[in-house]
Structures are given as structure tokens and as C-alpha cells.
């Protein structure tokens, strides 16, 4: 009987154990979910870190062919012999990119920039390449030549353009990123538009292209469509009552140089705002897949995306444009942009474009000149 009494008291004691309130049960479930989610995030982040390995750098460009020197035959090496000076040494984890956007009408590369990104020191140099930059000229199968940089893509594709830019600046180009205009518009709209200072009044109409640009000088909020108009605008149009014809005048006093500066500033503004909204990464990824052509692999993209999240645009980005004269006539072609060799060399070595540990020298550049 005594044993039975103890069992009864113990059962009674168990029955009196308090149950969790609905609020506490919800809290415990939430805590378990939080722990599980944290574990998933940690594992995913660790996986991305493993996948995002530093990309390989491009090979050093072949030295320019000097006057009187023969071009290497197929199968022959164009690299210096062992007895000559050693190859330039690249900075660790520093990469170069050719950024381009094609013209909607001609198919030429309307916008061209080179970006050098030092992922260790978190510094970058961005330089615009004027579309009319003179090059030595490349002969086509039909006997014709082109002498402006923006024609290289139309004639020889993106690899031909990469080669021309590499020879021009004396640096290897590791990767290219070619964006179509739809992708740019979608990106600007995805980040809610941008506030941007438009440096000039823009008034241009072209019914053939269905292009109508009317944007006033000053701080403006730009949608994706408006941002594209600002980037494209090179001329203002007006109706000349004296002869009853529509005519155009340059928008910028310094012709295409002013336009390239606007494009650089606008691109920087867009990228800065995009990186400040990492929650939109899935949207950016979709836009990238549908509108960007590149030789970057997925692991490369993960690597640079992770690094870029910590980049300070306000203090660590240097922007510039290739120095030169855009009024030159070359091989019978008007309005070619002839580069200033000494100023170009200084820009490459001081404005964050040089990816080497030592300065680039004049003999490494391939610059076309009219004389």
C-alpha cells in the first residue's frame, strides 16, 4: 500500500508540471528557426567564399612591332628572349576590365572604358577611351581599313577590340563586360532611379531612331530611360528658319570628351547606389544574365561581387579620359582623336590604370600619329 501511495503521489507531481504558454512555444519555435537559418547562411557564405576564388590574370601583351622589324610568323613567339629584360610583374589580385556598350544604330562600341581594380588595397582607376581614338588601322579581307577605335568591335569582334585596347595602353585586359542598353535601363530602374547633375541642356530629336531628348541642365532625377538619354546625347538639334532645315550642334564644348566624363560620372553614380542595395542582388543577377556579355565565369563574379561590397567610391576611385586632340584628319578621315603620348603615359602610371608593380614605359605603347 505504501508503494502504491508513493506512485500515486509521483504521478500527481508529474501531472502538475506547468505547460508552455502559446507565446513561449512560439518563441522557442522562432529561436529554432533562427538557429537553423543562421546555420544555412553560414554554410552558404562559406560555400560562396570557396567558389569565389581569385581569377587568373591575362598574359602580358606582345611588345609593339618596331619600324623595320618583321611581324612574327604563325607559330613564332613574339615574347622577348630570355637574354632580354624580364617580363613585367603584375600586382597581386589586381585586374583589368574592358567595359563597353554598343551603339544602337551603327553596331560600333559607342562607350568604352577600362577599369583597373586592386582588390587588396581597394582602389580602382577608370579611364574613358574616346570613340574616335586613332589606331594604326586594321586591313580587312575586302582591302578596306578602319582607323578609329570604335570600329574595332564591328570589324573584329570583342576579342579584336580587347587586343587594340591592350596595345594602346600597354597593359593586358583580363576581362570584358559588354552591356546592352536594355540592361542599363533596367538596372537604373531597379535601384529606383538616380539623382544626377546634368552638366548641359540637352535638346535633340531624331524621329528615325524614335529618340527625343529634352533634359535641362542641373540636378535631375533620372529614370532608366532618361539616364540612357543623358549617356547617349552628343548633339542638340534646332530648326534653322533661314533655310528651313533641321541642324545639329555639339552638346559639349569639348566634343566627345565632355560626353565621356558625363558617362563616367553617371556610371559611378549608378554603381554606387546599386552596391548600397545588396538586397537587390537577385534582381541584379537576372539583369546581368539577360543583358550582359562577358568572359567572366560564375566564380569570378562571386569573387568581385564580394570585394565590391566594401569599395568606397568617394575616396578610392580615380576617373580620367585619354588625353588628345579630336580635330585631327588621319588617312583622309575627319575628326580623329590623336593621343598625346607623354600625357597618356603619365595618366596610365598615376591614375590607377597600371596593373604592374613598376611603371609602364613609352616603348610598351602602340600609339598612331598623323606624322
- Cβ atoms 177, 186 nearer than 8 A: no
Has residue 258 been placed in a domain?
yes
156: its cell numbers: 573584329
Residue 29: pLDDT above 70?
A: no
More confident position, 35 or 167: 167
What's the average model confidence in pLDDT over 130-140? 85
CA 108 to CA 152: how far, in whole Å? 8
CA 316 to CA 295: how far, in whole Å? 26
266: its cell numbers: 553617371
The domain total for the chain is 1
Alpha carbon of 288 to those of 178, 190, 264: distances in Å? 10, 12, 20
Has residue 17 been placed in a domain?
no
Has residue 3 been placed in a domain?
no
Has residue 343 been placed in a domain?
yes
Identify the pLDDT of residue 45. 43
Three-state DSSP state, 20: coil
Has residue 148 been placed in a domain?
yes
Has residue 110 been placed in a domain?
yes
Which CATH number does the domain housing residue 343 bear? 3.40.630.190
Identify the pLDDT of residue 47. 44
Domain holding 348, by residue range, is 51-55+91-358
Identify the pLDDT of residue 4. 53
- Cβ atoms 140, 157 nearer than 8 A: no
Asked which of 15-29, 188-202, 318-332, 353-367 is least confident by mean pLDDT, the reply is 15-29
Asked which of 36-40, 108-112, 119-123, 181-185 is least confident by mean pLDDT, the reply is 36-40
Has residue 16 been placed in a domain?
no
Has residue 287 been placed in a domain?
yes
Neighbours of 135 (CB within 10 A): 23
Residue 85: pLDDT above 70?
A: no
337: its cell numbers: 582623336
DSSP symbols for 101-168? EE-TTT-SEEEEEEEEEETTTTEEEEEE--TTBEEEEEE-TTS-EEEEGGGHHHHHHHHHHHHHHHHH
CA 265 to CA 350: how far, in whole Å? 20
CA 261 to CA 282: how far, in whole Å? 30
More confident position, 17 or 308: 308
pTM of the full structure: 0.78
126: its cell numbers: 577608370
Amino acid at each position: 500500500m505504501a508503494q502504491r501511495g508513493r506512485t500515486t503521489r509521483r504521478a500527481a507531481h508529474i501531472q502538475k508540471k506547468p505547460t508552455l504558454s502559446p507565446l513561449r512555444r512560439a518563441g522557442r519555435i522562432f529561436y529554432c528557426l533562427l538557429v537553423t537559418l543562421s546555420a544555412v547562411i553560414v554554410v552558404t557564405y562559406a560555400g560562396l567564399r570557396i567558389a569565389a576564388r581569385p581569377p587568373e590574370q591575362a598574359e602580358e601583351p606582345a611588345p609593339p612591332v618596331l619600324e623595320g622589324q618583321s611581324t612574327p610568323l604563325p607559330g613564332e613567339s613574339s615574347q622577348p628572349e630570355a637574354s632580354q629584360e624580364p617580363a613585367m610583374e603584375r600586382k597581386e589580385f589586381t585586374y583589368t576590365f574592358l567595359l563597353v556598350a554598343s551603339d544602337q544604330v551603327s553596331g560600333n562600341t559607342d562607350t568604352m572604358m577600362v577599369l583597373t581594380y586592386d582588390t587588396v588595397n581597394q582602389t580602382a582607376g577608370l579611364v574613358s577611351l574616346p570613340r574616335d581614338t586613332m589606331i594604326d588601322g586594321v586591313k580587312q579581307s575586302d582591302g578596306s581599313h578602319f582607323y578609329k577605335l570604335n570600329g574595332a568591335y564591328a570589324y573584329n569582334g570583342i576579342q579584336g577590340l580587347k587586343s587594340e585596347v591592350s596595345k594602346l595602353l600597354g597593359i593586358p585586359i583580363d576581362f570584358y563586360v559588354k552591356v546592352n542598353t536594355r540592361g542599363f535601363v533596367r538596372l537604373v530602374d531597379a535601384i529606383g532611379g538616380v539623382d544626377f547633375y546634368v552638366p548641359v541642356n540637352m535638346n535633340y530629336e531624331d524621329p528615325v531612331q524614335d529618340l527625343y531628348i529634352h533634359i535641362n541642365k542641373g540636378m535631375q532625377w533620372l529614370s532608366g530611360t532618361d539616364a540612357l538619354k543623358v549617356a547617349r546625347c552628343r548633339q542638340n538639334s534646332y530648326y534653322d528658319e533661314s533655310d528651313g532645315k533641321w541642324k545639329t550642334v555639339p552638346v559639349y564644348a569639348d566634343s566627345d570628351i565632355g560626353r565621356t566624363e558625363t558617362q563616367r560620372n553617371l556610371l559611378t553614380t549608378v554603381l554606387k547606389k546599386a552596391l548600397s542595395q545588396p538586397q537587390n542582388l537577385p534582381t541584379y543577377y537576372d539583369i546581368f544574365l539577360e543583358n550582359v556579355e562577358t568572359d567572366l565565369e560564375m566564380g569570378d563574379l562571386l569573387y568581385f561581387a564580394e570585394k565590391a561590397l566594401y569599395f568606397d567610391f568617394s575616396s578610392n576611385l580615380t576617373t580620367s579620359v585619354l588625353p588628345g586632340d579630336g580635330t585631327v584628319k588621319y588617312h583622309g578621315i575627319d575628326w580623329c582623336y590623336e593621343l598625346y603620348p607623354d600625357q597618356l603615359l603619365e595618366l596610365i602610371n598615376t591614375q590607377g590604370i597600371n596593373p604592374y608593380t613598376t611603371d609602364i614605359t613609352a616603348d610598351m605603347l602602340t600609339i598612331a600619329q598623323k606624322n
